[in-house]
Amino acid sequence: MRLAAEERNGTGHGASLGSMQIRQFRVEGLGHLSTLIADESAGVAAVVDPRRDMDVYLAAARELDVRISHVVETHLHNDYVSGGRDLATLTGARHVIGAGAELRHEHGPVRDGESFDVGSLRFTTRDTPGHTPEHVAYAVAETARGQDPALLFSGGSLLVGAVGRTDLLGQEHAHEYARAMHRSIRDVVMGHEDHVIVHPTHGAGSLCAVGIASTPSTTIGYERRHNPLVSIADVEVFAKRLLRGQPAVPRYFARMRPLNQAGPPLLGGRVPEPRPLSLAETQGELATGALLLDLRPPADHSVVHAAGSQSVPLGPSFGTWLGWVVDPDRPLVLVLERPQDWDEAIRQALRIGAEGSIRGHLRGGFGSWADGGAPLESTGRLNVDELADRLDHASAADRPLVIDVRQASEYEAFHVPGSIHIAAGSLPDRLAELSQNQPVVTICAAGLRAGVAASILRSSGFEDVSWVASGVPAWRAAGHPTVRGDQPTRTPASPRSHGGPSAAPEPESGATAD
């Protein structure tokens, strides 16, 4: 196999098998995997489960000197806006998806057992409901060499070391869909030979499953031997194991399925150009209800930031957090660390359908805000020892409420005594439960989620807000006590009251990376 170079905004790598060329692309923050598979001898290719910023596929097709003849999707996606409609429209390709998806725009529905050819590559559709009810997989044979499948595009069914979750369309369907997934895995997917290569759509970092390995592909044989869910024969045991410890679902997920079914707006392969706004233009947008979104690192935002702004730092998970904690209907003006950060920010916004709310970015960044004499504020930043000191020595009135903003499974494993749990993504919906008269400290695993949560509180009117720049693991490593369980431990506000006996340490589990 020969590897292609890494491409920006998602890793692309490739392999050649005979006349079959395979290029796989990864979006780190979403854990999204997509594939261009080509028959070089016939000069045609298919793209499987494409993302919305589709220039990477067009570039790969040009490099291989092939035409994209098919755009193939395994299911209606819950975690990102599909690029399927746009790519098919731009290239004239046939847009293929399982008939159960019932897309409301031009496409070619396929049913279980039906086949279509991309040159000598024969795709055979297999119904694999579970992750979603209309889910299909595609077994691919290179007919120039034989009729047996060599490759399986498994979508959100079989993943590398895991199986796609079945609760994304509501808890009321989760168990029913888990039973369907059990049949799909054991009766359909694992019916393939051990040598068959598996390309899933969800990889490490995706919130569509827990425990996904970091490698982007696998084989049926490897999963048969090493995937803990594949070997479970009892359907009820399988369902219980599959649904246990799944991470919280970002709020934007609820918009993705209907948007993908209806057909997202067409971009024609274009990524929106930068829209720099002057300070006066920015203030005009804010006066009419826009939110100033600060994409600088959390530490920079906490030291000083525009009054009322909110922090969602630019990184691999920017798009997820943008869709999770920011009102999708609220106009946004971005504060970039560097002008060139626009491209990464707008691409991630495109992938979750949030590009329409972005009015532009503040020209000159935070410096132009500060130099223009606009109002400033700051957020407290603590290390774990400083938090311990505040908990030890503050009066009852000044003792902070510690909010652990990690996932529930992380909190249950171990947490700061007396802390309460509100996941960072749930915080905007639970502000009414908190008193603005009490000091608040947010804490997570490594600082990012705590910084985002602190900025949500600060921009919502909470004045005495701090965040811990390291996290609960650092708290425990420094010798401070932790407790386990899913309920907050209330302790009196006395010296070392946050100390005392604690449960035996347990390893952190189910964590979402900061």
| 240 and 303, same domain (yes or no) | no
| 356 and 443, same domain (yes or no) | no
19 forms bridges with which residues in the sheet? Answer: none
Mean pLDDT, each 10-residue run in order, the chain (514 residues) = 37 66 96 98 98 96 98 98 98 98 96 98 98 98 94 98 98 97 98 98 96 96 98 98 94 97 94 97 97 96 95 96 96 98 98 97 97 94 96 90 96 96 95 95 96 96 94 97 75 33 28 46
Distance set, CA 202 to CA 165, 252, 370, 371, 440 (Å):
11, 17, 42, 45, 36
Domain assignment present for 16:
yes
The 10s digit of each residue's pLDDT in 36-67 is 999 999 999 999 999 999 999 999 999 999 99
| 237 and 89, same domain (yes or no) | yes
Q: What is the pTM of this model?
A: 0.90
| Domain final residue pick, 361, 377, 393 | 377
Burial of 214: CB neighbours in 10 Å, binned 0-12, 13-18, 19+: exposed
Domain assignment present for 78:
yes
Reference 114, options 133, 137, 147; nearest CA is 137
The 10s digit of each residue's pLDDT in 481-501 is 999 987 654 433 333 333 332
| 127 and 256, same domain (yes or no) | yes
| 385 and 306, same domain (yes or no) | no
What was the pLDDT predicted at 15?
A: 66
| 238 and 363, same domain (yes or no) | no
What was the pLDDT predicted at 11?
A: 47
Strand pairing of 420-421 and 276-277? unpaired
- Name the domain count of the chain: 3
What was the pLDDT predicted at 16?
A: 61
What was the pLDDT predicted at 334?
A: 98
Domain that holds residue 224: 11-262
User: Would you say 318 and 348 are in contact if contact means Cβ atoms under 8 Å apart?
Assistant: yes
The 10s digit of each residue's pLDDT in 83-110 is 999 999 999 999 999 999 999 999 999 9
Give the whole-angstrom CA distance, residue 92 versus residue 71.
10
What was the pLDDT predicted at 120?
A: 97
| 113 and 215, same domain (yes or no) | yes
CATH code of the domain containing 182: 3.60.15.10
| 160 and 194, same domain (yes or no) | yes
Number of H helices and number of E strands within the chain?
15, 25
